[in-house]
Amino acid sequence: MLGAMVRALGNSRDPRVIPTLIRIRDQNRLPRENSQITMKIQYLEKLKPENTKKVGAPH
């Protein structure tokens, strides 16, 4: 059940998703290392527009 919710949140492009996932993880006392939710948070942080490098000519 929690996994399905994390997947649904992870597919959203809303900037509030990452803090929500962190709150879910902490409320459920999930491990911070190597847990699926932590990996999802790290993945989403990489996808943030300010963290992705712009490649190519400016438009």
The count of domains in the chain is 1
Classify the phi-psi angles of 21: left when phi > 0, otherwise alpha if psi is within -120 to 50, otherwise beta.
alpha
Domain membership flag for residue 41: yes
Does residue 58 lie within any of the structural domains? no
Taking residues 6-16, what's their average pLDDT?
Answer: 71
Provide the mean pLDDT of the chain: 74
Residue-range definition of the domain harbouring residue 42 = 2-6+16-51
Integer Cα distance of 49 and 42 in angstroms = 14
Residue 48 binned pLDDT confidence (cut-offs 50, 70, 90): confident
Mean pLDDT within 21-38: 80
7 pLDDT band (50/70/90 cuts)? confident
